[in-house]
Amino acid sequence: MKQSIIQWFKFGSPQAFYPLAGRMIPWFWAAAAAFGIAGLWISFFVAPTDAQQGEGYRIIFVHVPASWMSMFIYLVMAFWAGLGLALNTRLSGMMAQSLAPTGALMAALSLWTGALWGKPMWGAWWVWDARLTSELILFFLYLGFMALQAAIDDPRRADKAGAILALVGVVNIPIIYFSVKWWNTLHQGSTINLTKAPSMAHTMLWGMLLMALCFWMYSIAVALTRVRAIILERERHTDWVKHAVE
Amino acid sequence: MNAFLATVRRDLLLALRRKSEVLTAVFFFVIVTSLFPLGIGPEPVLLKKIAPGILWVAALLATLLGLPRLFAADHVDGTLEQMALSPSSLGLLVAGKILAHWLLCGLPLVLLAPVLGLQFDLDASALGILTLALLLGTPLLSLIGAIGAALTLGVRGGGVLLALLVLPLYIPALIFGAGAVEAHIAGLGAGGHLSLLAAMLALAVFFAPWATTAALRIALE
Amino acid sequence: MLNVSGLACSRGERRLFSDVGFSLAAGEWLHVQGENGSGKTSLMRLLVGLSPADAGEIRWCNEPTPSTEFRRDLIYLGHHAAVKEDLTPLENLQLAAALDGVALDERASLAALIRLGLRGREELPVRVLSAGQKRRVLLARLLTRPAVLWVLDEAFNALDVAAVKLLGELIAEHLSAGGMAILTSHQPLPVPGGKALVL
């Protein structure tokens, strides 16, 4: 037990984490590719054509996992941020910073695919559907986080300020989500729901699951790659980085 | 507690010496709400329908206008540093500053809203609900805004960044605040919306000064 | 009793100082010296608890700082004017005391302002005072706010000869009453004794 705690603290230092992340990245890329191929194969060739929505519904295989990831990444980001504030570990802030662009990408992807799906379904690129609206707000929260970090020069201060914002955001996300949902029902919004596609077949669920796993692996691989770059940038004046880059 | 009241008194006294800054936000509120009928047309049915939303969005933006000044002046002249080193808890002093901000930027909006609501043909009971919703909602805006103001203190392009950080967090207040008036007009009763606003306010009173204090300590490092 | 050990601080990638240590007992004062950019102000901000140290420990009466007790015993005057331009010197003193939760009657504030040579200026807005006079308003807090440890960063700047002498006297009085002081300055200070710390 004690041994494992020491191990964790060891990998909490950027210097120890850098090579570990380097070794893990190829595996996550490989897993992402494998899950992606399997997921796309099911979603394009195995899953049946939907009786009502035709072939267009297949975009949910990207839309739903992207939405999940965008929300989940914010939680993970807030977790790292909180850890960084509580324990004052340098790596936590770097992890939070490296996750934000991927989270924003997922939110943007979810919005874009939502719009593409909405055009044939609702006849409009944008509908003030509760899910899409909350996704848009989440996208703004990511942008705010990244803008705040970019605006502060001192990286340690940027980490801490970003951490507070992420924690404030994570408290607000459920409130925002339910308020938007309430607002939507009050205004008699669209009744078609993306995730509750009629006759959700078993194969569709599998396709979605595999795609979600693919997005997971992709996000981890990208975040680790980015965190390695951040470590190099921030620690560029230390001896080990000069040694590692050579 | 005395330090809390002293902070409120101090900020009110300072605002009294610089009246123009307070009045700017109020005039902004009046002008923005008056622009909408000019842009949309004077049709009473349409105006009545969009009135709650317009008044709330304008209140949101007017609050935002005063936020960058909340800590900036004290930061520049070093009095914020003295507050951070004061034996009184910084959280208490910050809470006092937020209350003063609401008294200066929020309360005038609450008092003006019924008058501006008349421009949009709202009836007396709808005006009452509007005022009540703003009375619950504007302190919430000041509390959440203070976190953003503290986070962007002394940061490049702070004003615009502040809007980007704070406006998404204002959305629930906007939805329930404007929703209360709309629900009342539609005959659904505004009780649910108002209690949710009050619940959010209670939550913010508890957490926002704490988060603001943490952000200020970081800004002072 | 102030005990400082192993203090280190860096700005960005640059290490300003490391392993700074000293202790102060009642009646002692420390003169922090060093060229521009050597980290005097950073050290002062670190000591009072405005910014965190990279390493090291600061203990006040054997308790780690920052604590409420430490803040009660501390008065820190930095580069900033730390007075509100729109208020009068009297209001500034009274409100600063109120924020600190210190009782201060008007007579005591007036006496402090008069001692600092601001007679007849108590009711003018600080905005119209000169830089040196603004500094004197701030220094009046040394008289109105009881504190054991004075941390004064470049307190002698912008002061005329008479005010430098007066501040020297105030510090000497404070020390002989069992107080402590930490001062930074490039000039020799008009206070006898004192430990020196060169960064």
DSSP of B16-32, one letter per residue? HHTHHHHHHHHHHHHHH
Q: Which of residues 49-78 of C touch B (CB under 8 A)?
A: 49-52, 68, 71-72, 74, 76, 78
Beta bridge partner(s), residue B220:
none
pLDDT at A147: 93
Mean pLDDT of all residues belonging to chain C: 86
Using DSSP's 3-state secondary structure scheme, residue B155 falls into: coil
Angle, helices B124-151 vs B191-220, to 10°: value is: 20
> Which residue numbers in chain B have pLDDT < 70?
none
CB contacts < 8 A (A, B): 74
Nearest to A161 among B151, B156, B171 (CB): B151
pLDDT of C115 strictly over 80: yes
Q: Scan residues 94-153 of C and list those with Cβ closer than 8 Å to B.
A: 95-96, 98-101, 125
User: Residues C119-135: pLDDT tens digits?
Assistant: 888 788 888 988 888 88
CA distance A230 to chain B (A): 21
What is residue A43's predicted lDDT score, i.e. its pLDDT? Answer: 83
DSSP string, A163-196: HHHHHHHHHHHHHHHHHHHHHHHHTT-----STT
Task: List the chains bordering chain B where 3 or more Cβ pairs fall under 8 Å.
Answer: A, C
pLDDT recorded at residue B2: 85
Whether the per-residue pLDDT at C19 is higher than 70: the answer is yes
Give the contacts of B83 (CB within 8 A, at least 6 positions apart).
B74, B90, B93, C99
Give C21's Cβ-side CA count (13 Å radius): 6
Interface of A with C (CB under 8 A): 154, 236-237
Q: CB A135: neighbour CB atoms within 10 A?
A: 24
The answer for B 1-60 residues in CB contact with C (under 8 A) is 2-3, 6-7, 9-10, 13-14, 17-18
Contacting subunits of C (3+ beta carbon pairs below 8 A): A, B
Q: B160 Cβ partners below 8 Å, 6+ apart?
A: none
Q: For B165, which of A144, A152, A176 is closest by C-beta distance?
A: A144
Amino acid letter, residue A202: H
Q: What is the CA A16 to chain-centroid distance, rounded?
A: 25
Please state the length of chain C: 199
Question: CA A46 → CA A202, A203, A206, A213, distances in Å?
Answer: 11, 7, 10, 18
The closest CB to that of B82, out of C51, C82, C101, belongs to: C82
- Residue A164 has a pLDDT of 93
Q: What is the mean pLDDT of residues C140-150?
A: 89
> What pLDDT was estimated at residue A234?
85
| Domain assignment of residue B41, given as a range | 2-220
Task: Evaluate whether B140 touches B105 at the Cβ level (below 8 Å).
Answer: no
**CA atoms of A103 and C70, how far apart (whole Å):** 43
pLDDT at residue C34 above 60? Answer: yes
Report the relative pairing of strands C149-153 and C74-77 from DSSP bridges.
Answer: parallel
Positions in chain A short of pLDDT 50: 1-2, 188-192, 194, 198
Which residues on neighbouring strands pair with residue C155, listed in sequence order? none
Q: Per the structure block, which two tokens stand in for B157?
A: 């392009």
Number of domains in chain B: 1
Q: For the whole model, what pTM was predicted?
A: 0.89
Looking at residue A191, its pLDDT comes to 44
Within an 8 Å CB–CB cutoff, is residue C168 touching chain B?
no
Taking CB atoms and an 8 Å limit, are B147 and A164 in contact across chains? yes
How high is the pLDDT of residue B138? Answer: 94
The tokens of C130 are what?
């000169």
The 10 Å CB-count burial string (b at 16+, else e) for C71-109 is bbbbbbbbebbbbbbbbbbbbbbbbbbbbbbbebeeeeb
Q: Which of B71, B143, B164, B167 to substitute to test the interface with A, most A CBs within 10 Å? A: B164
Apex A34 CA angle, A30 and A39, nearest 5: 145
Rounded Cα distance, B85 and C67, in Å: 10
pLDDT tens across A11-58, in order? 678 888 888 888 899 999 999 999 999 998 888 888 777 766 677 778
Which helix H or strand E contains C75, and what residues bound it?
Answer: strand C74-77
Q: Walk me through the domains of chain C, giving residue ranges and CATH numbers.
A: 2-198 (3.40.50.300)
Q: Which residues of C touch B100 (CB under 8 A)?
A: none
pLDDT of residue A196: 52
Conformation bin of residue C78: beta by default, left when phi > 0, alpha when psi is -120 to 50: beta
How far is Cα A66 from Cα C48, in angstroms, rounded to an integer? 48
Mutation for C interface: B79, B89, B218, B221, most C CBs within 10 A: B79
